[in-house]
Amino acid sequence: EPEVTQTPSHQVTQMGQEVILRCVPISNHLYFYWYRQILGQKVEFLVSFYNNEISEKSEIFDDQFSVERPDGSNFTLKIRSTKLEDSAMYFCASSGRQGGGYEQYFGPGTRLTVT
């Protein structure tokens, strides 16, 4: 069964460093998303992406964040200068069609620890 994959599973970085979280969505999917979950809290939407453009973003997704689809398979989330409060689990998701009625398939997550 096709699945969303994410690398690395755990990333440790120092405050102020740049990190890139990588995701490989399901191959025929066109809609991509990033969410984050601070430890013990709820899952929060960051950004959605389609046709090489951001469709929607939350207030969390400020200028420190960017997303890119550098090739036909990867979808990345970059945090330019990490802060302690960026420590969280980051989930990538993809969907085959647009619309609330279509399931978003989630990857296993990348745990980001900022020290």
Residue ranges binding other proteins (CB under 8 A): 31, 33, 35, 41-45, 48, 55-56, 58, 89, 91, 95, 98-109, 111
Smallest distance, Å, CB 50 to other proteins?
Answer: 9
Q: CB nearer to other proteins: give 31 or 65.
A: 31
Query: Alpha carbon of 58 to those of 10, 28, 32, 91, 115: distances in Å?
Result: 24, 26, 14, 15, 25
Smallest distance, Å, CB 85 to other proteins?
Answer: 18
* Nearest alpha carbon to residue 57 among 40, 35, 39, 80: 35
Q: CB nearer to other proteins: give 64 or 108.
A: 108
Cis status of the peptide bond prior to 8, with omega within 30 of 0? yes
Smallest distance, Å, CB 4 to other proteins?
Answer: 10
Structure tokens at 30: 């066109």
